[in-house]
Amino acid sequence: MTNIKVAPDTEISLHFSLSIIDGDEVDSTFGGKPATFTFGDGSLLPSVESKLLGLTAGAKETFTLAPEDGFGQRNPANIQRFPRSQFGADMTLEKGLVISFADAARAELPGVVSEVGDDYVMVDFNHPLAGRDLAFKVEILNVSTQADAT
């Protein structure tokens, strides 16, 4: 085990779990293959990376992330009303259904049906974890510098 600290451009191997505070676990590598990434490569939210700075192999921490540090606050403007006629007549629309849309750049944009009326469908494009307080549990397994990796 080394004493190299997590810093920009270090390679980090870790186990993590992400949970909703007082709720369900959303994702976890505990019990499976650890995640490995280079600090600053965009694999983790910047707010999570900042909490890892200075940790060394063997560290075990749990951080609380406010919505601003996680997936942001829910934005009412991200809930859109569509005419029911825009969806196939044979399509079964129900609350919670995830539908894939294309944005202006033709990239995939998932939306969740939040309400279905006789002539309209409300679709929520907010991230499912937006507005939620989250717990991020981490166990640092290894930290190496780029020079160590070669």
One domain for residues 65 and 84: no
Establish if 82 belongs to a structural domain: yes
One domain for residues 18 and 67: yes
* Domain membership of residue 116 as a residue range: 76-124
What per-residue confidence (pLDDT) applies to 23? Answer: 83
DSSP label of 6: P
Q: Are 98 and 109 in contact (CB under 8 A)?
A: no
Q: Are 119 and 83 in contact (CB under 8 A)?
A: yes
Establish if 2 belongs to a structural domain: no
> How far is the CA of 16 from the CAs of 13, 42, 144, in angstroms?
10, 16, 18
Establish if 53 belongs to a structural domain: yes
pLDDT tens track for 2-57: 589 999 999 999 999 999 998 899 999 999 999 999 999 999 889 999 999 999 99
The single-letter code of the amino acid at 5 is K
Establish if 46 belongs to a structural domain: yes
* Tally of domains in the chain: 2
pLDDT tens track for 49-108: 999 999 999 999 999 999 999 999 999 999 999 999 999 888 999 999 999 988 778 888
